[in-house]
Amino acid sequence: MLSLCADDGTLPASEHFQVVFGMQGRLELVLKGRRHAVQAGRVLVVPPGEPRRCTMRADAACLVLRSGEAAHRAALAPLAGQLRSLHASTAHLMRYLASRRHTDDAASQAATIELLVASLAASTPLGGPRLRRSIDWEALDRWIDERLDEPVAVADLAAQVHLSAPQFALRCRAELGVSPMALVRRRRLAAARRCLDAGMPVYQAALQCGYQSPSALTAALRREPLPA
């Protein structure tokens, strides 16, 4: 849902995340006793149910995006309560969306909103260094191991650690040196090796560990032999 913030001193309470994009002027919004100045080129993610009040100058305008979608919650949760500076491309996209919010069809607007939410990962925190959410990689390994024979997407992995898919992919490469799907493949291959070492037939190990066929498993074993 999109709206322009009204000059009435309040931001309506919502059970969903609210993303306040500064378009012009200045909106002062208080969260948990801390005052945030949302100006042009800045964005503030307001958590669900957060008590808030705001002061808005007569010439100010803000675009407010409200969303309760699970994918959006995962992307917005790490940014909640942070005043951030928009990347130039995100600011341009925000202004386009504001100008077309009454004219675009629902599908076009939804696609633009998806891009806008995803692009927030490129925004820069203001007011001090950002505290990153730590990832329990061992717990994530266990989660993967429990569903080796099921389809697992990057978004599924990201949801387990409360990050967006792009954010998780960046963290995975930075902290583990591999892509998210390479992490899944690594867990499947390690489990398959354990099964084979225990005497399990190749076809059964392939089925249990998420490979499409025994030949797919043997090919993976050839590609990634054990270190000498």
Q: What is the pLDDT of residues 50-82, one digit of tens each?
A: 655 667 665 667 888 887 778 778 888 888 888
| Beta carbons within 8 Å of 211's beta carbon, 6+ residues apart | 188, 192, 205, 217, 220
- The fold adopted by the segment(s) 2-125 is Jelly Rolls (2.60.120)
pLDDT tens for 69-117 read: 787 788 888 888 888 888 777 777 777 777 776 666 677 767 777 777 8
For the segment 31-48, what is each residue's pLDDT rounded down to a tens digit?
777 778 888 788 888 888
Among residues 67, 18, 13, 12, which one has the least CA distance to residue 38?
18
Are 25 and 60 spatial neighbours (Cβ–Cβ below 8 Å)? Answer: yes
The CATH topology of domain 137-223 is Arc Repressor Mutant, subunit A (1.10.10)
What is the value of pTM for the model shown? 0.49
Domain-wise residue ranges, the chain: 2-125, 137-223
